[in-house]
């Protein structure tokens, strides 16, 4: 594929390339997330396929100019399919020495480096623990370096506006953004509109940022700094109307739509936690859809209020991340015992304990599976891309309501904050979710089950004649009365497990992408979807026989998964944990699944996966089927 | 639809479940009072939801023939909040104890109260952990010897009503299991209150903390050791109603009536009084040597909006301003582009 790095020899004024990866990095107060998302929205509107990776520190404002304070936003955009934000970067914008130091390793050889040369004084270098000035010590010789006086140039552009130095300095990210717009021949009008809207009450700030951006654009034009600019034509996406969507936005919207399709009020009980809080923010804005958002006093109240809302007939949910998930444990057990429908969203992050609040990980799978006292099985779904979060929200709600069970949705920091173009579905593509409240007291018993789903009836307070008691004490089957008899307990434990197993009747069989049988099956789940898909595509193009199954249903697993795994000589399970899905697969299917595990708070790179695939296929018996057994 | 409510009796609120408290437990009296009061409230039975946590008191819902939810330890106020916010028309009561409400559930209790969710909390205070067989509780007195404090507890106790008052609870009251008539009247007043109500019911655990409130409940002791709070009336007590409570600066004092001291000099109870110091002074009387323990309504503020109403109104307002949510528009919101 042609990229900037390949294209350097020929120097037309404007060159058409297939894809590019751009990363903005600077202090967490430098507005890098804003520059990145503005650039993203502009390329999205143009019709490129894309994937983003915002990567920021846990501290809101670490001391300026230091290594822990570096924040970055990366986007890959292309005229063909994009599965990941990209392994390596074509254009790196670095606002200070700390950002440069932390990010330079990801810039491709001969890639473009735009640096804010105004922030390379001795003091800046010291804060970044740089003994020498990289702009002078030849350490950057492998790259095309463009030192730009971002601060002075921005100030010059804003001179007439009468702003103080600090405010002017804050606009420098827009100067850099303007440069990138020039570099990729993108119009600035989308960002103009955004600024007008964002600073509705402060038009002077809108004007300042516009001028800074325009100045950056003109700077490139006037100085002919880059000699080349690039054109990346629109991608051939499936026809339809598109928007850009992050995983957290998609989850929020998915639940609003699910509630509508079920004809229920949506109730969210939540306690702020990174990286899940944006779901609370989004849903709090949807009051005109009748959404009730309850910011609880703690994680436990967040889920127990949701259980209360579910008991009284709402589509109830709670959102959290790992540490909050741990606090909700006992309440999830209650939801299992009283068989009420709630959806628990765990936006995973690095752990244990507080861990890496802003970094991604997939290490809550076993917590979701087993993290409760006694036998308390809960169905689990995992989203694979930001846009997929929408559909997973709908499916989780459907299962919860149909089977009267709590359902866990696993997303992670990477999906939550990452964005991709999302084809907006027609309303007719979204299934209705049937819900039945019992109203007839005749023959009503709180634990009398539907024979097909094993769901108990949903009898909400306010319904005459259905007064009944539920609770966390063991129930007698059918009547729901408190019961401590040994055989009844075993029966109820088995019934609760059978109910979760019954959901398997709704779980579609997996169909591997790539080769339907062959040397290697890669089984993944969650946000590794993009990296695995990209790696498998390249490796198959190189002649390897590989299939890829990406699991949306983690409990219960698809009923044909065991048979599918038998069609390949080897099974590889890449996960951002110590091997949690591979442990489940090995235990359940006695399959020799090999784990590939990365626990760095960062998603897999395509190249890492490809190297692993090559390694796995280079040893051991390669044949067809039975995992080498 | 007509609003006629069928005539209900105490029997309508009794379940077929065998009541399993220890014989002689004060909980029986509380259950009986609640079962007697509910039918008098003119509310259809299906509108009642009784929610509880864990502990002896929390078995309460099983014995009430209403909707009932026996949840997990300490969390009843949060579950109840979810119910009440989703369905403000329901009549939600929480049955809890000193351990459930003030230890493990302390956080939920204060937040439910400060939000003024329209939930009535019956807090059975027996100053002991009963269901776990006799450990000291957050209301046990300093130095209390129990199974877990064989040499006496080193923890200063909570004053439950001072806590509720501090949390800006809009209805705060106290009654005693053995004062059936008073308890019923207090429950009725709580039921009539729109916002959050916190009712401490002093209750005897005859197994693990027998006589916890004996100095209040013993015959003859009642009139000497209890002062009944009545709105608009002076604080008078004593067998011969010859003693009263007077305000002296920022302190309360017990005075003997006569000798130039008349009822007019006494503190006149005002349950709507806005200065929080007032209800707080009343709450602290129980700890003060030589003072009687007040029972009755300490505070009743009726003009504070309920949380669930504010939530519902906010939805109404936004719908009025923006129009009812349109899913199609929602999906298409933000910047969109067409791929052909």
Q: Cα separation of B52 and A387, whole Å?
A: 40
Instruction: List beta partners, residue A345.
Output: A319, A409
What does the pLDDT read at residue A2? 52
Per-residue 3-state assignment (H helix, E strand, C coil) for A415-482: HHHCEEEEECCCHHHCCCCCCCECCCCCCCCCECCCCCCCCCCECCCCCCCCCCEEECCCECCECCCE
Q: For A596-601, what is the mean pLDDT? A: 97
Q: Cα separation of B335 and A422, whole Å?
A: 11
Contact at CB, A288 and B315, closer than 8 angstroms? yes
Contact at CB, B339 and A239, closer than 8 angstroms? yes
What does the pLDDT read at residue B221? 84
**Using 50, 70 and 90 to split pLDDT, how confident is the model at A13?**
confident
- B94-105 confidence digits (pLDDT tens): 999 999 999 999
Contact at CB, B335 and A466, closer than 8 angstroms? no
**For chain A, how many residues are written?**
629
**Using 50, 70 and 90 to split pLDDT, how confident is the model at B2?**
very low
Q: Looking at the complex, does the CB of residue B251 fall below 8 Å from at least one CB of chain A?
A: no
Which token pair is A233?
């034509």
- Nearest by CB to residue B81, choosing from A239, A243, A305, is A305
Site of tokens 């109870």: B269
Q: Cα separation of A216 and A146, whole Å?
A: 13
Q: Give every strand in the sheet of B243-248, ordered side by side.
A: B236-237, B243-248, B251-256
Contact at CB, A424 and B331, closer than 8 angstroms? yes
Q: Looking at the complex, does the CB of residue B323 fall below 8 Å from at least one CB of chain A?
A: yes
- A413-453 confidence digits (pLDDT tens): 999 999 999 999 999 999 999 999 999 999 999 999 999 99
Residues 6+ apart with CB under 8 A from A242: A44, A47, A421, A422, A423, A424, B336, B337, B338, B339
Given a cut of 70, whether residue A280 has pLDDT beyond it is: yes
Quick count: other Cβ atoms within 10 Å of Cβ B280?
16
What does the pLDDT read at residue A225? 82
Q: Cα separation of A492 and A456, whole Å?
A: 12
Chain A 434-473, CB below 8 Å of chain B: which residues? 460-473
A444 neighbors A465 (Cβ within 8 angstroms): yes
**Using 50, 70 and 90 to split pLDDT, how confident is the model at A57?**
confident
Q: For A203-223, what is the mean pLDDT? A: 95
Half-sphere exposure (CA, 13 Å, Cβ side) for B315? 21
Burial of B95: CB neighbours in 10 Å, binned 0-12, 13-18, 19+: buried
Q: For A548-553, what is the mean pLDDT? A: 98
Domain ranges for chain B, please list them.
Answer: 10-217+303-309
Given a cut of 70, whether residue B4 has pLDDT beyond it is: no
Given a cut of 60, whether residue A3 has pLDDT beyond it is: no
Given a cut of 80, whether residue A10 has pLDDT beyond it is: no
Contact at CB, B330 and A47, closer than 8 angstroms? no
Site of tokens 């009267």: A404
Q: Cα separation of B249 and B96, whole Å?
A: 37
- A246-261 confidence digits (pLDDT tens): 999 999 999 999 999 9
Q: Could you tell me whether strands A266-270 and A469-471 are parallel, antiparallel, or unpaired per DSSP bridges?
A: unpaired
A344 neighbors A327 (Cβ within 8 angstroms): no
**Using 50, 70 and 90 to split pLDDT, how confident is the model at A626?**
low
Q: Which of B174, B179, B175, B147 is nearest to B163 (CA)?
A: B174
What does the pLDDT read at residue A486? 98
**Using 50, 70 and 90 to split pLDDT, how confident is the model at A59?**
confident
DSSP label of B301: -
For chain B, the average pLDDT equals: 96
Site of tokens 């599965």: A83
Sign of CA dihedral A441, A445, A451, A457: positive
Burial of B36: CB neighbours in 10 Å, binned 0-12, 13-18, 19+: middle
Q: Cα separation of A627 and A594, whole Å?
A: 10
Chain B 55-84, CB below 8 Å of chain A: which residues? 61-62, 64-72, 75, 77-84
Q: Which of A92, A46, A72, A74 is nearest to A421 (CA)?
A: A46
**Using 50, 70 and 90 to split pLDDT, how confident is the model at A8?**
very low
What does the pLDDT read at residue B3? 58
| Cα dihedral: B127, B133, B136, B139 (round 10) | -20
- The residue of chain B with its CA nearest to that of A428 is B328
Given a cut of 70, whether residue A169 has pLDDT beyond it is: yes
- A285-336 confidence digits (pLDDT tens): 999 999 999 999 999 999 999 999 999 999 999 999 999 999 999 999 999 9
Q: Could you tell me whether strands A292-295 and A266-270 are parallel, antiparallel, or unpaired per DSSP bridges?
A: parallel
Q: For A138-150, what is the mean pLDDT? A: 96
Given a cut of 70, whether residue A628 has pLDDT beyond it is: no
Given a cut of 60, whether residue A624 has pLDDT beyond it is: no
How far is Cα of residue A390 from the mean position of the Cα atoms in its chain? 11
What does the pLDDT read at residue A620? 64
Sign of CA dihedral B308, B312, B313, B314: positive
Q: Which of A60, A52, A44 is nearest to A83 (CA)?
A: A52
Q: Which of A458, A459, A496 is nearest to A475 (CA)?
A: A496
Q: Cα separation of A529 and A606, whole Å?
A: 11
**How would DSSP label each residue in A328-368?**
THHHHHHHHHHT--EEEEEEE-B-STT-BTTS---TTHHHH
Q: Cα separation of A510 and A398, whole Å?
A: 20
- The residue of chain A with its CA nearest to that of B76 is A304
- Nearest by CB to residue B66, choosing from A44, A298, A467, is A467
Reading phi first (left if > 0) and then psi (alpha if -120 to 50, else beta), residue A224 is in left
Site of tokens 């437990």: B25
Q: Which of B185, B269, B279, B273 is nearest to B230 (CA)?
A: B269
DSSP label of B135: B
Q: Cα separation of B272 and B324, whole Å?
A: 40
What does the pLDDT read at residue A1? 47
What does the pLDDT read at residue A9? 44
- A472-513 confidence digits (pLDDT tens): 999 999 999 999 999 999 999 999 999 999 999 999 999 999
Q: Produce one character per residue of B117-143: b if its CB has 16 or more CB atoms within 10 Å, e if not.
A: bbbbbbbbbbbbbbbeebbbbbbbeee
ipTM of predicted complex: 0.97
Half-sphere exposure (CA, 13 Å, Cβ side) for A256? 29
Q: Going from the N-terminus, what domains does chain A have, and what CATH number goes with each?
A: 6-231 (3.40.920.10), 243-429 (3.40.50.970), 513-628 (3.40.50.920)
Chain B 99-128, CB below 8 Å of chain A: which residues? 107-108, 111
DSSP label of B223: H
- B260-306 confidence digits (pLDDT tens): 999 999 999 999 999 999 999 999 999 999 999 999 999 999 999 99
Q: Which of A295, A576, A301, A262 is nearest to A393 (CA)?
A: A262
Taking contacts as CB-CB distances below 8 angstroms, the residues of chain A near B318 are 287-288
Which token pair is A574?
């890449």
Contact at CB, A424 and B336, closer than 8 angstroms? yes
Q: Cα separation of B136 and B143, whole Å?
A: 10
Contact at CB, A288 and B67, closer than 8 angstroms? no
Q: Looking at the complex, does the CB of residue A492 fall below 8 Å from at least one CB of chain B?
A: no
What does the pLDDT read at residue B328? 95
- The residue of chain B with its CA nearest to that of A193 is B335
Q: Cα separation of B260 and B18, whole Å?
A: 58
**Using 50, 70 and 90 to split pLDDT, how confident is the model at A17?**
very high
Q: Cα separation of A408 and B95, whole Å?
A: 30
Q: For B127-134, what is the mean pLDDT? A: 95
Which token pair is A176?
């850099």
Task: Reply yes or no on domain B10-217+303-309 having CATH 3.40.1440.10.
Answer: no
- A346-391 confidence digits (pLDDT tens): 999 999 999 999 999 999 999 999 999 999 999 999 999 999 999 9
What does the pLDDT read at residue A11? 44
Site of tokens 């509780």: B137
Q: For B140-152, what is the mean pLDDT? A: 97
- B199-222 confidence digits (pLDDT tens): 999 999 999 999 999 999 998 888
A455 neighbors A499 (Cβ within 8 angstroms): yes
């Amino acid at each position: 594929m042609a990229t900037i790095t390949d294209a350097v020899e020929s120097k037309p004024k404007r060159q058409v390339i297939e894809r590019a990866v751009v990363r903005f990095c600077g202090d967490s107060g430098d507005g890098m997330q804003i520059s990145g998302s503005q650039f993203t929205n502009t390329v999205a509107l143009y019709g490129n396929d894309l994937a983003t990776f915002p990567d920021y520190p846990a501290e809101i404002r670490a001391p300026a100019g230091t290594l822990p304070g570096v924040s970055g936003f990366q986007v890959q955009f292309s005229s063909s399919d994009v599965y990941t934000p990209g392994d390596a970067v074509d254009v790196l914008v670095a606002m200070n020495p700390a950002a440069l130091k932390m990010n330079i390793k990801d810039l491709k050889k001969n890639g473009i480096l735009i640096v804010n040369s105004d922030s390379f004084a001795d003091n800046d270098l010291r804060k970044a623990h740089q003994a020498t000035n990289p702009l002078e010590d030849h350490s950057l010789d492998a790259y095309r370096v463009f030192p730009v006086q971002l601060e002075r140039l921005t100030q010059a552009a804003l001179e007439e506006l009468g702003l103080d130095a600090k405010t002017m300095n804050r606009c420098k990210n827009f100067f850099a953004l303007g440069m990138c717009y020039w570099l990729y021949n993108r119009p600035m009008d989308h960002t103009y509109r955004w600024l007008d809207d964002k600073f509705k009450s402060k038009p002077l700030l809108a004007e300042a940022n516009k001028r800074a951006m325009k100045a950056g654009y003109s700077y490139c034009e006037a100085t002919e700094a880059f000699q080349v600019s690039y054109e990346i034509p629109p991608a051939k996406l499936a026809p339809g109307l598109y928007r850009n969507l992050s995983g957290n936005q998609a989850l929020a919207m998915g639940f609003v739509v699910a509630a509508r399709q079920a004809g229920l009020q949506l109730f969210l009980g939540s306690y702020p936690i990174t990286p899940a809080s944006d779901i609370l923010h989004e849903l709090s804005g949807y009051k005109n859809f009748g959404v009730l958002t309850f910011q609880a006093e703690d994680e436990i109240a967040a889920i127990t209020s949701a259980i209360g809302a579910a008991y009284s007939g709402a589509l109830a949910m709670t959102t959290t991340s790992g540490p909050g998930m741990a606090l909700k444990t006992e309440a999830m057990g209650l939801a299992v015992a009283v068989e009420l429908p709630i959806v628990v969203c765990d936006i995973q992050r690095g752990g244990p304990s507080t861990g890496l609040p802003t970094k991604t990980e997939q290490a809550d799978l076993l917590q979701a599976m087993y993290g409760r006292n006694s036998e308390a099985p809960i169905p689990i779904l995992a989203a694979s891309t930001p846009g997929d979060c929408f559909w997973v929200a709908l499916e989780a709600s459907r299962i919860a309501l149909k089977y009267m069970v709590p359902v866990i949705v696993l997303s992670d920091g990477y999906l939550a904050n990452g964005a991709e173009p999302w084809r907006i579905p027609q309303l007719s593509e979204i299934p209705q979710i049937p819900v039945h409240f019992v109203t007839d007291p005749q023959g009503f018993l709180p634990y009398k089950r539907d024979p097909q789903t094993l769901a108990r009836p949903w009898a909400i307070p306010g319904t005459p004649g259905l007064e009944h008691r539920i609770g966390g004490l063991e129930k007698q089957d059918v009547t729901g009365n408190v019961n401590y008899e040994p055989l009844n307990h075993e029966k109820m434990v088995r019934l609760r497990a059978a109910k979760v197993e019954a959901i398997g009747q709704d779980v579609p069989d997996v169909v591997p992408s790539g080769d339907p049988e062959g040397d290697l099956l890669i089984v993944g789940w969650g946000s590794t979807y993009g990296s695995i898909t990209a790696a498998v595509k390249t490796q198959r193009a190189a002649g390897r026989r590989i299939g890829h199954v990406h699991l949306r249903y983690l409990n219960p697993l698809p009923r044909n998964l065991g048979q599918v795994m038998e069609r390949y000589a080897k099974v590889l399970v890449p996960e951002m944990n110590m091997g949690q899905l591979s442990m489940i697969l090995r235990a359940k299917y006695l399959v020799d699944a090999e784990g590939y595990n990365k626990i760095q708070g960062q998603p897999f790179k395509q190249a890492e996966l490809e190297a692993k695939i090559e390694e796995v296929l280079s040893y051991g018996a390669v044949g067809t089927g039975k995992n080498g057994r | 639809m007509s609003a006629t409510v069928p005539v209900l009796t105490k029997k309508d609120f009794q379940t077929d479940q065998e009541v399993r408290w220890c014989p002689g437990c004060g909980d029986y009296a509380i259950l009986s009072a609640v079962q007697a009061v509910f039918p008098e409230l003119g509310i259809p039975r299906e509108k009642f939801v009784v929610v509880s946590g864990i502990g002896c008191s929390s078995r309460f819902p099983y014995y009430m023939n209403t909707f009932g939810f026996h949840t997990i330890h300490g969390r009843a106020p949060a579950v109840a909040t979810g119910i009440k916010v989703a369905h403000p028309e329901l009549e939600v009561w929480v049955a809890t104890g000193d351990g459930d409400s003030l230890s493990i559930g302390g956080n939920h209790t204060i937040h439910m109260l400060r939000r003024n969710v329209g939930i009535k909390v019956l807090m059975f205070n027996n100053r002991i952990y009963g269901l776990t067989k006799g450990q000291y509780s957050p209301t046990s007195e300093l130095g209390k010897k129990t199974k877990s404090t064989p040499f006496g507890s080193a923890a200063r106790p909570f004053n439950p009503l001072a806590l509720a008052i501090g949390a800006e609870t809009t209805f705060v009251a106290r009654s005693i299991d053995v004062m059936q008539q008073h308890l019923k009247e207090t429950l009725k007043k709580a039921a009539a209150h729109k916002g959050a109500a916190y009712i401490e019911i002093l209750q005897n655990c005859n197994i693990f903390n027998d006589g916890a409130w004996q100095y209040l409940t013993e015959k003859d002791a009642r009139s000497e050791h209890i002062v009944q709070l009545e709105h608009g009336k002076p604080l008078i007590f004593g067998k011969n109603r010859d003693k009263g409570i007077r305000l002296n600066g920022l302190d309360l004092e017990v005075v003997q009536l006569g000798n130039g001291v008349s009822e007019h000099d006494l503190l006149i109870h005002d349950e709507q009084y806005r200065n929080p110091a007032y209800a707080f002074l009343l709450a602290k009387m129980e700890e003060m040597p030589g003072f009687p323990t007040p029972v009755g309504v300490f505070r009743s503020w009726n003009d504070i909006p309920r949380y669930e109403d504010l939530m519902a109104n906010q939805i109404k307002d936004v719908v009025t301003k923006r129009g009812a949510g349109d899913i199609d528009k929602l999906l298409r919101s933000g910047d969109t582009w067409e791929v052909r």
